[in-house]
A and B are shown apart, each in its own frame.
Chain A
């Protein structure tokens, strides 16, 4: 299985799940709508990517043991404040744009075609992230959040794409010691809790149940 695509799919699923946690409790009603819609669309991207990787997207999304998920630690974090949530959305979208652009050049037309479709839709997520970045960029809370999450954002991308990310957000690449536990392949404790919740209903019913 294509590890790069599986990583992307798992990122979108888990981030969609995390973003959906703001539904109903965002600081303003319009953001309840925005986060719910973004979450739904990210999960739609995960579904489309899983569909490309195997015949049963649900099985890929929910039937794997925890250690087989390929999401990056950035998306796993349960962020309970708005500045950190927005910092993650902004860093994620900048990084995501770089890897999606690379996939649009993929030799497999199915991969390139789906990446182009995802890219069209992500344009709206990027606008949202950019809008909030403009609004919060000078605040101490947001700066601290970016500083904290920056090594995690670097951990989203393979090494060959990291220089471009650093250039786009005007931050220096962190040293190896700062990346420890924050790169793809490592998992945070928060993922275990999320996995338990996310797969609970499916695990509660025997295989083949009809919903």
Chain B
């Protein structure tokens, strides 16, 4: 009989479809795993609701549970319980190593443009904070585009949610 620990371990093998250097566990999008009588109920939270990878992630979770010989029941939880603060320290380090600046911590109030425009965001390549906002938006809803004045190249910055 499969255990919750085995399910979590298996989920660590599922890469994020858009940024495969991190797993779904690293991203912190799996809220809970409950195992009973060969059924595995998983609660999963989207990063951004506009994420095109949402359905792919759900299918990957279902497939992984099936591979373990259990019956999957994957529920997408559409509430505010996921935050970029849930990305694990290991996940943040993997993002940085792959050239994605990890998100700043969530604050009590909504993020402001002036914060994004401030040169406090660190370049994932050279570590400089001499960076500027190029675009609030990027290739996926969860990212914005910045430019590093020190190493003269663009990089992607995770948005805080």
B68 CB to nearest A CB, Å: 27
Instruction: State whether A124 touches B159 (Cβ < 8 A).
Output: yes
Closest to A134 in B: B113
Say yes or no for A171: interface residue by CB 8 A criterion: no
Interface size on B, residues (CB 8 A): 29
Say yes or no for B78: interface residue by CB 8 A criterion: yes
Instruction: State whether A120 touches B78 (Cβ < 8 A).
Output: no
Q: Are A33 and B50 CB-contacts (below 8 A) given A117-B78, A120-B161, A131-B113?
A: no
Contacting A121 at CB < 8 Å: which of B48, B52, B116?
B48
Instruction: State whether A44 touches B137 (Cβ < 8 A).
Output: no
A114 CB to nearest B CB, Å: 5
Q: Are A48 and B49 CB-contacts (below 8 A) given A37-B137, A128-B136?
A: yes
Residues of A within 8 A of B138 (CB): 33, 37
Residues 35 to 84 of chain A near chain B (Cβ within 8 Å): 36-38, 40-45, 47-48, 51-52
Instruction: State whether B112 touches A127 (Cβ < 8 A).
Output: yes
Give the docked Cα–Cα distance between A2 and B144 (Å). 34
Closest to A122 in B: B110
Interface size on A, residues (CB 8 A): 33
A-facing mask of B4-39, CB < 8 A → 1, else 0?
A: 000000000000000000000000000000000000
Residues of A within 8 A of B99 (CB): none
Instruction: State whether A33 touches B49 (Cβ < 8 A).
Output: no
Instruction: State whether B134 touches A113 (Cβ < 8 A).
Output: no
Say yes or no for A176: interface residue by CB 8 A criterion: no
Say yes or no for A30: interface residue by CB 8 A criterion: yes
Q: Are A40 and B78 CB-contacts (below 8 A) given A123-B111, A127-B112?
A: no
Instruction: State whether B136 touches A41 (Cβ < 8 A).
Output: no
Instruction: State whether B136 touches A118 (Cβ < 8 A).
Output: no
Give the docked Cα–Cα distance between A52 and B77 (Å). 11
Residues of B with Cβ closer than 8 Å to A?
46, 48-52, 54, 76, 78-81, 110-113, 116, 134-141, 144-145, 159, 161
Residues of A with Cβ closer than 8 Å to B?
30, 33-34, 36-38, 40-45, 47-48, 51-52, 109-110, 113-114, 116-121, 123-124, 126-128, 130-131
What would 17 A/B residue contacts be, using CB atoms closer than 8 Å?
A33-B138, A37-B141, A40-B52, A41-B49, A41-B50, A44-B48, A44-B49, A48-B78, A51-B76, A113-B80, A117-B79, A121-B141, A121-B161, A124-B136, A124-B144, A127-B111, A127-B113
Apart from A34-B136, A114-B78, A127-B113: 4 A-B pairs, beta carbons within 8 A = A36-B137, A37-B140, A38-B137, A127-B111
